[in-house]
Amino acid sequence: MILIGIGGNLASPVGDPVATAKAALARLGVLGVSCSACSPWYESKPIPPSDQPWFMNAVAQVSTALEPAELLAVLHSVEGEFGRQRSVANAARTLDLDLLAYADLVRGEPPLLPHPRLHQRAFVLLPLRDLVPAWRHPVLGLTPVELIERLFPGEDLGGPVRRAGTV
């Protein structure tokens, strides 16, 4: 199972962040990355707190013959096609595509797998729980629900992250 985090908080030439994400998933399909399922959308406050617009986040399950490094390069290429500009850390963006997990692969060199902060982010774990509740983190061995239960006390699931709907 290959899992990709999808997010954004700025409009792109194709529309709002959700429209951008849908167009990006279609573009990935042309590039050999087929989306088999996508979670509902969640809204989340920017981290660290700022005056940026809230982010829209989801998780997609995909399949591809690409190796992890090739897949990550394709994800970055598609981000660029939809107006992503990498300037400073945590900047507002039209599209963010993160390789969260690639089967049960564990890698300590880029691309790091599983994503090194996956287990600390409610905006990833809540959509992940909705999409693949039985999935287990390849290092921690925990399901999304178990990972949610271990979030830091400041990660208020009712406040900074809220369900926004389905794709």
pLDDT digits (tens, 9 = 90+) for 71-107: 999 999 999 999 887 777 777 889 999 999 999 999 9
Could you give the dihedral angle defined by the CA atoms of residues 84, 60, 124 and 47, in that order, rounded to the nearest 10 degrees? 10
pTM assigned to the model: 0.91
Could you give the dihedral angle defined by the CA atoms of residues 162, 77, 86 and 109, in that order, rounded to the nearest 10 degrees? 90
Q: pLDDT above 90 covers what percent of the chain? A: 75
Are the beta carbons of 101 and 138 closer than 8 angstroms? yes
Beta strands in 68-134 (DSSP E): 96-102
N-terminal to C-terminal alpha carbon distance within the chain: 20
Are the beta carbons of 4 and 99 closer than 8 angstroms? yes
**What's the confidence (pLDDT) of residue 167?**
47
CATH of domain 2-165: 3.30.70.560
Q: What one-letter code names the amino acid at 71? A: L
Give ∠ CA 76-121-86 in degrees, rounded to 5: 30
**What's the confidence (pLDDT) of residue 92?**
83
pLDDT at residue 5 greater than cutoff 50: yes
